[in-house]
Structure 1
């Protein structure tokens, strides 16, 4: 769907945990921990400290804590259009039948945010300073060791336009992946689904095998996750057992207390049809206290009882459960109560009264379920086999099978086109578990035909050996069926590098080239002024994450980024173009933009990112867009053919988009952020220069140190009419900008905006006018 005049791109947002003060009667088991919620969170994020791995919960720019000292809270949330964001219904294509039946709906932290911070944007990753150069295969592994909780957790990315391309990162169920490969600076944007609400405790550790053969493993670390219920409190509170022991024990009449679970009657919001109302009532309307709810013996939430009443709407899920209530009064004149366990069934009603008074409640919190071994695994048989299997007309699958049924490892490698034999056109990514793994991909219209294939097998650090790095004979496509039958290494060494090692171009016009990994065009604010920096997670120049000036580096793009338009035609591009994808590709730079360090409470409205061309190849076009989904077409954010150079960011956000360039060459942009303070003052960061070197030939030319391209900034046709055509070097656009801002200041000072706004609109480009008007 194409953007309207006021495009608001407020996708991914970060905020710190909201501090809430409640009576000490509340007794959540994670009260007093740092709460990660309603924003961008990487947890676990693996760091390297004191020669070992440390697992932390990183809340964007707000800091990080050990995962043992923090809690993830997934509450409810809705988009600006009212659509639920905390629910995920299993697709009808059966790709997720390992969770449940198609159409069943579950609690989920979404992989993208739209419109606000709720409920949470949660992924996992690794710090850029991980010394992967010392690890076998330059990789580590994040492992789920054990779990306690009422249901299962699954971590994935699902694209409704390409359902067969489900990426299943991690999970706790028997057939889910329990390990995910980590490289320095990696992080994910994923959905995390839970089959039931309640409290989960997931124990992780990160492992790697040193090149000398020794195993490096972090101590097991446990992360608490509160799914549904109320947000954990900032202060430590009494436990349910402590409150219960202090409460009075007395005989209760049948009508003293009533507890009931029933489908929500008044359905006002999207997703309410999946909710149940849990209600408590007392005969004495002066009663106050705390009602603690459990699901299958696991903590669900605490509710305040006031005037003898308590009620909470919760998505209990579509699986059968046991629900139990424990009431503790605030005084000694009323009795405590443990209800019997209610048998919950989806959309059915059940209830109980204090006529039944249990002496203990079911406590399953110590029922830890082991999901993965922690001991070394000896490779018993080195045989390995790889083949391609057609799924349907547009989808294919790489299947890897090891002769050792206990083998655990990762599928890597990829397709390499004739354009570039050193950088993958597409990366293979998959887990081998119990000796078998697969990677599914879209190859409609023969997009990988005649590509060569490089297969890389990386053993899990627990494996004593089992590496592979080899080409698969023949080229892919054109009805060919390439396969491989060979042997893995049998010791802890890694194989010789692939026959075409990368010959990196490290500089462009004497500046370092960043051609892979993650970077953000980041905004920050201090003393009512804005700054723009490049947050560099690539670890290419420094072995860590750093903030640097945009003009200190060049973003390099190789020919492996060449794409051909097929289904969705983008009007600002030719049939063949260079694409920096919205989701991370290991061999393509991954630029995003971030305002998550901005305190929006100091601002009046949005923050605006302006990217204006200073020098681009003659006749070239460029832009940025979001991937299409079933709900609409690609959403265009930037379009050089319409002089649309402005992105509105309505919330503290960290976002990624597709970047597209029509042709090779050196593209230079002036980049700035702007906003308006509460006092009405417009603030703008100093323009910073951002350069993209597009194409291998461009990178070779500028590697000499003095490459001056024959660029012309004239926008390609069709272009919107302007009063003055831009001149080479962008000088006329700069003059128009200066003139417009001066004119706007004069008009604003005399209060004549309403009367001559239409006249301004005829002479000032729409992006600039929106910037001036604060829209």
Structure 2
């Protein structure tokens, strides 16, 4: 209904010879959750199934009606010179090696900001989730679709600790298992700024063997760029098609290193520029990265500027200009001579324009174009996410091997590998100072990847001499009813240790090549 009304208004404006208002950004009109702690998605239980919501500002909102906005944020201080809190630089540590291989600089919503800016995001679950109704008492939040200009990693970090939670591109990192009443304070990092759509569902298997799942809900992150506006307007295509045409030979879109130094990390920014070549031109310009919306900026006296951290690697940028209402000649008005239409466009607020793409990498010299594109930008990620795994599966084997070893750098790798590479499972627990301890001193929390392997490398070898206890729970879509608790004795990391076992109804006790276990405590509780 709203779209039809906007189209009618645009048509009426054309009839009157007046261009409609500039286009809205894609998430204008949504509830913007930012500059606060936000739990989204947060899983609730209503009417016998899961429901996903956004919890922010002590309120609950339907997830699909909200947008998380990550703007440039700085630590609170006596001036604007506080340290930046929106660029994550992976430390030179083995646990972060895979992040550094992908990108040197990530645009991030910080896990623990100093002060309220920017967004402080996480996810979680309501305390009233009835885990007694689920197989093994487990349920999960799952990323089922991902669309955006780059990739996303969500993780917890503290010094040498790296605990992965979600990954857009690693098949084994599309699911995080939750505990009722818990929520996370994690980094949510993206390789590029722009508009991302993450589709989630909550899932469990009931004790009766049936799958329980929420609807799949798309949730938008606007990473960098401009904050979505309170009120929505006509979409870009509607506004552009209704906007006036005219001479755009003086228009230019360009990118260059940002010269400002008002804030910390300004030297990491790139400036996007629109120049119309005439101070009479006014309106709004939308900037795009690889076809995904980035920012909307007013054009005043023929110019617009936007500074952005564009990530690592090359991206294709475009600008779309919509002139202010009331100027130029409406598109398609064939009754007006072309010379008159051109003159009106040149002397009023300008003519619509889509720039040709400009390929640019952070740190390059200025690059730009005055050429036009034949159509509006379309999303074309240079790093698309692989297809998500899904559907029920019966394993050909329930055998697995647990392995621990000290790396050359002195860190500790813990892994679980299944004989059937298609097994999806949740492995959690960790290293305990005492065998009878309920909670680990060095937590292990991981899920299997597309090879049926779950692995994590953590810190240095301070967990040597501790007790390793792991719980292995199959993904809800894996057709089996058993879980396993694997308990090792005191860990001697002078050589790799391993244990081969099989998922079974009874707890599995390690008796393989690892040190002989001592008296066995009760199985570790699920963290």
TM range, normalised to the smaller chain?
Answer: 0.7 to 0.9
Picking from 351, 365, 369, the partner of 1:335 is 351
From 71, 75, 93, the equivalent of 1:75 is 71
- 1:251 Cα deviation after fit: 3.6
How far 1:475 moved relative to its partner? 3.1
Change (3 A) 1:190 1:213: same
The answer to whether the aligner puts 1:250 opposite 2:281 as a matched pair is: no
Q: Which residue of structure 2 lines up, in the alignment, with residue 404 of structure 1?
A: 420
Deviation at 1:352, TM superposition (A): 4.1
> How far apart in 2 are the matches of 1:495 and 1:237?
60
Asked if the contact 1:321/1:344 (under 8 Å) is kept, the reply is yes
Partners in 1 of 2:150 and 2:364 — Cα distance? 20
TM-score (norm 1): 0.57
8 Å contact from structure 1 (residues 457, 467) kept in 2: no
Q: Deviations over 1:481-539 (max 9, x none)?
A: 653212114xxxx656997548xxxxxxxxxxxxxxxxxxxxxxxxxxxxxxxxxxxxx
Q: Note closer, same or farther for the CA distance 1:365–1:233 as it changes in structure 2 (3 Å cut).
A: farther
Q: Secondary structure at the match of 1:99?
A: helix
Q: Which moved more, 1:434-443 or 1:96-105?
A: 96-105
Q: Using the TM superposition, give the Cα deviation of residue 454 of structure 1 relative to its aligned residue in structure 2, in angstroms.
A: 3.1
Q: Is the 8 A contact 2:154 2:165 kept in 1?
A: yes
Match of 2:338 in 1: none
Alpha-carbon deviation of 1:423?
Answer: 5.3
SS in 2 for 1:141: strand
Look up the match of 2:213.
Answer: 217
Alignment correspondent of 2:500: 485
Note the 1:616-655 alignment, pairs <5 A. none
Q: 2:44 aligns with which of 35, 40, 47?
A: 47
1:670 corresponds in structure 2 to none
3-state SS of 2:173 partner: coil
What are the within-5 Å matches in structure 2 for residues 291-690 of structure 1?
A: 291-330=285-324, 331-332=327-328, 333=345, 334-354=350-370, 356-364=371-379, 369=385, 371-392=387-408, 395-418=411-434, 420=436, 424-433=440-449, 434-442=451-459, 444=461, 449=465, 451-465=466-480, 467-472=482-487, 474-477=489-492, 479=494, 483-489=498-504, 495=506, 500-501=521-522
8 Å contact kept, 1:260–1:349: no
Q: In the alignment, is the contact (CA less than 8 A) between 1:411 and 1:429 conserved in 2?
A: yes
1:151 and 2:150 matched: yes
Corresponding residue SS for 2:116: coil
Q: 1:317 Cα shift?
A: 1.5
Rate the CA distance shift 1:370–1:318 in 2: closer, same or farther, 3 A: closer
1:32 alignment partner, SS class: coil
Change over 3 Å in CA distance of 1:25–1:388 after alignment to 2: same
Q: Tell me the distance in 2 between the aligned counterparts of 1:64 and 1:205.
A: 17
Q: 2:4 — aligned with what?
A: none
Q: Quote the offset at 1:324 in angstroms.
A: 0.5
Contact 1:143–1:207 under 8 Å retained in 2 = yes
The answer to whether 1:35 aligns with 2:32 is yes
Residues 407-452 of structure 1: per-residue CA shift (max 9 Å, x gap): 111112344555735555554322122211124445745x562x54
**Contact 2:412–2:461 under 8 Å retained in 1:** no
Q: Distance in 2 between matches of 1:406 and 1:244?
A: 48
Q: Which runs of 5+ in 1 are unaligned?
A: 1-22, 503-559, 561-584, 588-775
Aligned length in residues? 470
Deviation at 1:213, TM superposition (A): 0.8
> Cα gap change, 1:196/1:187 in structure 2, threshold over 3 Å: closer, same or farther?
same
Partners of 1:58 and 1:65 within 8 A in 2: yes
Distance 1:439 1:318, change over 3 A: closer
Q: Any gaps of 5 or more consecutive residues in structure 2?
A: 1-19, 329-344, 510-519
Matched, 1:142 2:146: no
Which of 280, 283, 292 is matched with 2:277 structurally?
283
* CA deviation after TM superposition for structure 1 residue 351, in Å: 4.3
Gap change, CA 1:418 and 1:352, over 3 Å in 2 = closer
Q: 1:486 to 1:241 in 2, by over 3 A?
A: same
C-alpha displacement of 1:55: 1.0
Q: CA separation in 2, counterparts of 1:89 and 1:424?
A: 28
> What is the deviation of 1:201?
0.4
What is aligned with 1:185? 181
Where 2:237 maps in the other structure, the secondary structure is helix
Q: Is the counterpart of residue 226 in structure 1 residue 218 in structure 2?
A: no
Tell me the residue number matched to 1:505: none
Residue deviations 1:66-124 (CA, integer Å, cap 9, x gap): 2211000000011135211111112223533433449822211111111x321110011
RMSD: 2.8
Residue of structure 1 equivalent to 2:9: none
Counterpart Cα distance in 2 of 1:159 and 1:424: 16
For residues 256-279 of structure 1, the C-alpha deviation after alignment (integer angstroms, 9 at most, x for no partner) is x12111101132321111111111
Counterpart contact for 2:406–2:461, Cα < 8 Å: no
Q: Following the alignment from structure 1 to structure 2, what is the Cα–Cα distance between the partners of residues 186 and 147?
A: 24
- Secondary structure, in 3 states, of the residue corresponding to 1:307? coil
Structure 1, residues 322-349: CA drift from partner, whole Å, max 9, x if none? Answer: 0011111112233111111011122124
Aligned to 1:326, what secondary structure does the other structure show? Answer: strand
8 Å Cα contact 2:135-2:481 kept in structure 1: no
Which one has more relative contact order, counting CA pairs under 8 Å at least 6 apart?
Answer: 2
- Cα distance 1:365–1:483, how it changes in 2: closer, same or farther (>3 A)? closer
1:313 counterpart SS class: strand
**Alignment-derived partner of residue 516 in structure 2:** none
Residue by residue, what CA displacement relative to the aligned partner does 1:550-604 show, whole Å, maximum 9, x if unpaired? xxxxxxxxxx9xxxxxxxxxxxxxxxxxxxxxxxx976xxxxxxxxxxxxxxxxx
Deviations for 1:168-208, whole angstroms, at most 9, x for unmatched residues? 11011246611111121121111111111110001111110
Greater Rg over alpha carbons, structure: 1
Q: Specify the alignment match of 1:127 in structure 2.
A: 126
